[in-house]
């Protein structure tokens, strides 16, 4: 059976960077990366949908039923087709992205430890702890450069739903983590290779991963 690793933390905490580093550190082809952001519900199809007020930071905005189903398939060694979500149109694109089975499946997202059935699937659960101001700055820069957002819209959403959602859902989910890794770099962009290595080291030291790293 595949080893499932959950990487969670607040928006901008460094989850994606850590998840990508883990996949890169394992033998080629041994691990695949999945992003919870691919499993947003098709919000644009909802009646009276308004992207300025819709709460994307509530766990109900995620299709955890489908994610749980897909991870169960991957854990059993069967491939899946993950949805493709557009942050521009706030809906799913036609088709999907094939995800092949692998020995390790790394899943990153803000809510991956917020649903009991989903949490129970993971063999290793990690919470990335990063100061709130650093997380906000990273989100502000990312959403403008990668998601076509304005600074005003990012700030509005952060105050309206992101910060309350973090305090209500993501932060309490740290109690389900096996361990917490701290991003103490205070770097606006987590680009220092050595800092990323230090962030990944506690996860790579987990006994479940030893056989893969010593092969």
pLDDT at 178 over 90: yes
Any domain includes 110: yes
Element counts in the chain: helices (H) and strands (E): 8, 9
Q: Is residue 23 part of a domain?
A: yes
Q: Is residue 214 part of a domain?
A: no
| Residue 111, domain member (yes or no) | yes
3-class SS of residue 154: helix
Look at residue 213 and tell me if it is in a domain. Answer: no
- The verdict on residue 208 lying in a domain is no
**Six token digits for residue 210:** 């030893």
**Number of structural domains in the chain:** 1
Q: What is the pLDDT of residues 104-137, one digit of tens each?
A: 999 999 999 999 999 999 999 999 999 888 889 8
Q: How far is CA 145 from CA 47, 136, 189, in A?
A: 29, 14, 13
Can you tell me the distance from the alpha carbon of 58 to that of 97, in angstroms, rounded to the nearest whole number?
25
- In angstroms, the Cα distances linking 138 to 14, 96, 187 are 9, 28, 9
The string of pLDDT tens digits covering residues 62-107 is 999 999 999 999 999 999 999 999 888 888 998 899 999 999 999 9
Q: Look up the domain containing 101 and give its range.
A: 3-203
Q: Tell me, what DSSP letter sits at residue 44? A: G
What mean pLDDT do residues 127-150 have?
A: 87
- H-only helix segments in 52-192: 64-75, 116-119, 132-146, 151-157, 163-165
- Is 106 strand, coil or helix? strand
Q: What's the CATH code of the domain at 29? A: 3.40.50.300
How far, in Å, CA of 153 to CA of 13, rounded?
20
Q: Please give the structure tokens belonging to residue 139.
A: 């989100």
Helix, strand, or coil here: 84? coil
For residue 210, being part of any structural domain is answered with: no
* Distance, CA of 34 to CA of 52 (rounded, Å): 27
């Amino acid at each position: 059976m595949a080893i499932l690793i959950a990487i969670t933390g607040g928006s901008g905490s460094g989850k994606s960077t850590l998840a990508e580093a883990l996949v890169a550190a394992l033998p080629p082809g041994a691990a695949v990366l999945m992003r919870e952001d691919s499993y947003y519900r098709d919000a644009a199809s909802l009646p009276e949908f308004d992207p300025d007020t819709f709460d994307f930071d509530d766990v109900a905005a995620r299709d955890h039923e489908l994610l749980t189903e897909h991870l169960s398939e991957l854990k059993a060694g069967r491939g899946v087709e993950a949805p493709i979500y557009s942050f521009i149109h706030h809906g799913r694109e036609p088709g999907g992205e094939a995800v092949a089975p692998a020995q390790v499946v790394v899943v990153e997202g803000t809510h991956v430890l917020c649903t009991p059935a989903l949490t129970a699937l993971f063999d290793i659960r990690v919470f990335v702890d990063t100061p709130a101001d650093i997380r906000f700055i990273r989100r502000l820069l990312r959403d403008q450069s990668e998601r076509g957002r304005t600074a005003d819209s990012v700030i509005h959403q952060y105050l309206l739903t992101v910060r309350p959602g973090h305090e209500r859902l993501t932060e309490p989910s740290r109690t389900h983590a096996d361990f917490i890794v701290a991003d103490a770099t205070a770097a606006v962009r987590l680009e220092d290779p050595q800092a990323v290595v230090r962030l990944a080291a506690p996860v790579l030291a987990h006994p479940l991963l030893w056989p893969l790293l010593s092969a």
